[in-house]
Structure 1
């Protein structure tokens, strides 16, 4: 089932999400719905708070980053992303390392805005997968960045929180408009300042 994605300004996006237990009710269905919702919105990651669930779960499918147009060279930052589809439950980023690099990030909760965000290129993360196997893994490049972006969501942090005060001021009106539903998103959204008629 495709769920509405909550928009910028929704209190749940600024709240630290809760860890869950293995027997969390409806988790398998929720994960299935999250993938359906993410694909419908052409996203590469989605966190549970974005579909109005304040739990520490996020999904990623970075396969689009591995696609190479004819005549183009493969991007080394996208190495190993073909078929990179994962579920992260109760994740903990144990370590971030390397020299920070900039990349223009976007977010399904903040449509039509992309801004450069600085992040470290390598991470070590521990988490449970969909079958409740405990894993510790290391990622780098785009994989690390997508995971860091979604991990921020379960900590109540948006990519706009990483921007400079000047950049935030420049985006303020656009962000307010998004919270009011004054944005043409190509997928269903739930806007905090609209009580009825959310798409």
Structure 2
């Protein structure tokens, strides 16, 4: 079932997600619904907060993105990104290991808004997968960027928080309009 992607201005986007202690059938269904929503929205990542649930779950799939390569290492050896996708991260912990690089980012909760964001190029990740098993890997390139972007969401941090001041000023009118529209929709739905 496709879920509604909430937009900037919705308070749950600023909530830190609760840890998931066990993967229940309800959580597995939620993960399926998140993937369906992400694919339908043509995204490469989606965090639970973006569908109005403050829990530590994100889904990622960078297959098919050829202009921004991804790298993956499992147990210190290069591995196939394609075979590792689609990816579910529950309670992820992300540690930067590489130098920082700038790259363009967008977000399903910020339609049509893109900006250069500087993040570590490579990260080590420890998380639980959809079966409740511990997974560990090193990600680089677009995969590393997607993991960091989605993990930020799980902690109530938005990509606009990572923008430089100049970029944020340039985007201020669009951000304010999006926020006002979202707040108006929320108010209307409560009436």
Question: Which residue of 2 is the match for residue 38 of structure 1?
Answer: 38
Question: Which residue of 1 is the match for residue 184 of structure 2?
Answer: 193
Alignment RMSD: 1.9
- Larger CA deviation: 37-46 vs 138-147: 138-147
For normalisation by structure 1, the TM-score amounts to 0.84
Deviation readout 1:85-106 (Å, 9 max, x if unpaired)? 110011111x202221111100
Q: Does structure 2 retain, via aligned residues, the 8 Å contact 1:7–1:192? A: no
1:173 is the counterpart of 2:164: no
| Number of equivalent positions | 180
> Counterparts of 1:106-145 in structure 2 under 5 Å?
106-145=106-145
Question: Which residue of 2 is the match for residue 64 of structure 1?
Answer: 64
Gaps spanning 5+ residues in structure 2: where?
72-79
Q: In 2, Cα distance between the equivalents of 1:145 and 1:18?
A: 22
Task: Kindly state the Cα deviation for residue 23 of structure 1 after the two structures are TM-superposed.
Answer: 4.8
Question: Which residue of 2 is the match for residue 85 of structure 1?
Answer: 86
177 and 127 in structure 1: CA distance in 2 versus 1, 3 angstrom threshold: same
User: Structure 1 stretches (4+) deviating beyond 6 angstroms?
Assistant: none
Return the structure number with greater helix share. Answer: 2
Give the SS at the match of 2:9.
coil
